[in-house]
Structure 1
Amino acid sequence: MTSFLKDGRSRPVALWLFATAFLVFAMVVVGGATRLTGSGLSITQWKPVTGALPPLSEHAWQENFRLYQATPQYRLINRGMSLGDFKFIYWWEWSHRLLGRLLGAVFAVPFVVFLALRRLPARLVWRCVVLFALGGLQGLVGWWMVKSGLEARVTVAPERLATHLGLALILFCALVWTGLEAWSGQARVGGRRQDGWSIAGAALMAAVYVQCLLGALVAGNQAGLVDNDWPLMNGRVFPDDYAGAGAWQTFAHSQAAVQFNHRLMAYAVLVAAGLLAVRAIRARYLSGTLRSLFAGLLLAVLFQASLGIATLMTGVPLWLAILHQAGAVLVLTVSVILAWRARRA
């Protein structure tokens, strides 16, 4: 164990970080389901500690329902819903927040234990502190997002949804990357560097991340419910209603624009992944692991693109939309592992 810590390697720490990353993945999926079921605005207060308990009496349920009835979403969309229907959407949002609290505990408790036992590699301590801070910030950003839907909107602001998802994915990527560092230890000095492949891996990871953010804008604008043909959009190559009232309204709030941008980025990622996979397979001097990762990323992108097309053309059914969101995180996972491995090559 001592030698492992000296070279920055700790398999127990790596497993802890991977388990935490899995919980972030679960949060993204549950968060997507919460949004798709229209449940995200059902809890109108942010109580980090006492909010861990759900309503425990009929009076408490009625009080929470009364608070929800004061929101624009209830007045304009869900007016007349029953208490039973409210409980359905409440449990989705409560589960999402409970998972966030569980995530915080799963990270914080082992972190303190590893520090106390001196089982955390010194070079990873500051990274874990940053990871903990990112987790806390994510809770604040989540409430900032929810507030945008409690004032003058019936849904959360798309740009705030993209920020919330984007921060979650940064946390996820950092957990996976740090877990890989803990599993493998410090990189060995010397050997033949492949800087070109390292840059290519990092660029692919960044492109996949940006595509996830564009997908969040599609979700936030419910843009998957329009222009449900493919490869055209409402029968046209370029949608007639692309432009909004200004550059920002177009980029962040035009349904046609956000869907078109998401499609274009998908094509770009697919082409880049394909070209790099072909080059990597032909580059016999690369390790078999790295060549397999490039090929695996291409297959993951192809599968995710197929899911996206199917989700769009079938009118965004709940199960397929959740699968598409989960697929995006899986593609991002492969891209992170590829970028990390290319940097070590």
Structure 2
Amino acid sequence: MPTSSPPQTDMTPAHRKLISGWLFLLCFMLLGMIAIGGVTRLTGSGLSIMDWQPVSGFIPPLSHAEWERLFALYQTIPQYHLQHEGFGLEGFQRIFWAEWIHRFWGRLMGLVLLLPLIWFVVRGMITRRLALRLFIFFILGALQGAIGWFMVASGFRPNSTAVEPVRLVLHLSAALLLYGAILWTAFSIRWPTPERHAASSAARLAKRLACFTIVLLCTTIIAGGFTAGTHAGFLFNTFPLMDGHLIPTDYAQLSPFWMNWFINKAAVQFDHRLLATLTALSIGAVLLVGLKATDLGSKAHNAFILLGWAVVIQYALGVTTLLLVVPVWAGAVHQTFAAVLLGVMLYVLHCLRGTKAVA
């Protein structure tokens, strides 16, 4: 995740506001993409489209014959025979639309990025360096589509009804990396000059803790991806104990031991719980130190308060999702708000950029 960015000092304030607003819109669309992806995963809709058509896929099926062709393709994969055999064309259409909207939203985001970028370059409103960075974001977005298809293709294997967890985590991680990079760039354009903070021990410690915490948060989100990919969230639906134990009795049933972290559902869910709790405690430490650092500006203090509310909401969403046995709405909101929490954490780090500026 980027931690610094050259300020766009040669832009006018109006241009900075316009371009950063456009990038914030893209980040909001990415949050929508993550939410739709969560719904697609939880409803088992991701395997309903058997081909990848980056351009013509913009257009949904327009005839009964086309619907029949797509349904016939779906009937060739294991998921249909193992989960949905006999649910008919109407049932297929229900899961098809969730996946089609997910792919359509990704294509729409590509246009929302590329077309304004071309216009800004033609009008000379952005620097070459920024234009190159934004074009790289477009390439990464296209690559994310390819990663998505790579993930979906893993669900077509014999006796498989879902995608491989590792590929799911790769797809989610790539989306969050792109989200973080665009968001940081938007912050740097909107607020190009860091607030000047005195380099007190409290301010420096708050910044170090924030850097450590964002690494811990990203690890927690990755663990959440494995929890989703292995369906480990359905195994123990009590909190804080798991089947009456703090640590599940079959945590280390696989050998070698490290395989438990990625395959053993009991271990996967426990690890996500543990990492989420450690992340919440680490954010608590950031708040404790940061709010007591009187030499930090009001912007940084407001960012700390926002972070506190965000982590409380996300932790509560996680527990709620677990206790309700992962309903679609709760699972999708929990997954999406993880990205919101990551964005708030990045905002805190951005506000602390100037901590070392004044001795």
2:206–2:289 CA contact under 8 A, matched in 1: no
Relative to structure 1, the CA distance from residue 287 to residue 187 in structure 2 (aligned partners, 3 Å threshold; closer, same or farther) is closer
The answer on 1:292 being equivalent to 2:302 is yes
Measure, in 1, the Cα distance between the counterparts of 2:133 and 2:208.
22
2:268 to 248, 253, 258: 258
1:10–1:121 CA contact under 8 A, matched in 2: no
- Residue aligning to 1:35: 41
Relative to structure 1, the CA distance from residue 80 to residue 118 in structure 2 (aligned partners, 3 Å threshold; closer, same or farther) is same
User: Could you list the runs of 5+ residues in structure 2 that have no partner in the other structure?
Assistant: 1-7
Higher RCO, 1 or 2 (CA under 8 Å, sep at least 6)? 2
Measure, in 2, the Cα distance between the counterparts of 1:265 and 1:3.
40
- Residue aligning to 1:205: 214
Q: What are the residue-to-residue correspondences of 1:319-334 with 2, within 5 Å?
A: 319-334=329-344
2:97 to 57, 82, 91: 91
Measure, in 1, the Cα distance between the counterparts of 2:156 and 2:325.
27
Moved over 4 A (4+): 6-9
1:312 to 322, 328, 352: 322
Q: Secondary structure of the equivalent of 1:77?
A: helix
- Residue aligning to 1:154: 161
2:304–2:348 CA contact under 8 A, matched in 1: yes
- Residue aligning to 1:336: 346
Q: CA deviation at 1:247?
A: 4.2
- Residue aligning to 1:302: 312
Measure, in 2, the Cα distance between the counterparts of 1:290 and 1:302.
19
1:135 to 137, 141, 148: 141
Q: CA deviation at 1:7?
A: 9.4
Q: CA deviation at 1:245?
A: 4.5
- Residue aligning to 1:221: 230
Relative to structure 1, the CA distance from residue 77 to residue 342 in structure 2 (aligned partners, 3 Å threshold; closer, same or farther) is same
RMSD: 2.0
Question: TM (normalized to structure 2)?
Answer: 0.90
The answer on 1:183 being equivalent to 2:193 is no
Q: CA deviation at 1:205?
A: 2.1
- Between 243-252 and 123-132, report the one with greater CA deviation: 243-252
Relative to structure 1, the CA distance from residue 124 to residue 187 in structure 2 (aligned partners, 3 Å threshold; closer, same or farther) is farther
- Residue aligning to 2:4: none
Measure, in 1, the Cα distance between the counterparts of 2:9 and 2:175.
34
Identity of aligned residues (%): 36
Q: Secondary structure of the equivalent of 1:56?
A: coil
**How many residue pairs get matched?**
343
- Residue aligning to 2:170: 163
Q: CA deviation at 1:29?
A: 0.3
- Between 151-160 and 85-94, report the one with greater CA deviation: 151-160
**1:138 is aligned with what amino acid?**
Q
**1:226 is aligned with what amino acid?**
L
Measure, in 1, the Cα distance between the counterparts of 2:305 and 2:213.
13
**2:300 is aligned with what amino acid?**
L
Q: CA deviation at 1:82?
A: 1.1
2:210–2:283 CA contact under 8 A, matched in 1: no
Q: Secondary structure of the equivalent of 1:182?
A: helix
**1:241 is aligned with what amino acid?**
D
Measure, in 2, the Cα distance between the counterparts of 1:257 and 1:114.
49
Measure, in 2, the Cα distance between the counterparts of 1:187 and 1:231.
41
1:24 to 11, 27, 30: 30
Question: TM (normalized to structure 1)?
Answer: 0.94
Relative to structure 1, the CA distance from residue 97 to residue 343 in structure 2 (aligned partners, 3 Å threshold; closer, same or farther) is same
> How far does the alpha carbon of each residue in 1:5-27 deviate from its partner, in whole angstroms, 9 at most, with x for none?
27997211111111111111100
Measure, in 2, the Cα distance between the counterparts of 1:8 and 1:254.
53
1:4–1:10 CA contact under 8 A, matched in 2: no
Measure, in 2, the Cα distance between the counterparts of 1:212 and 1:317.
19
Q: CA deviation at 1:241?
A: 2.1
Q: Secondary structure of the equivalent of 1:55?
A: coil
Measure, in 1, the Cα distance between the counterparts of 2:227 and 2:145.
22
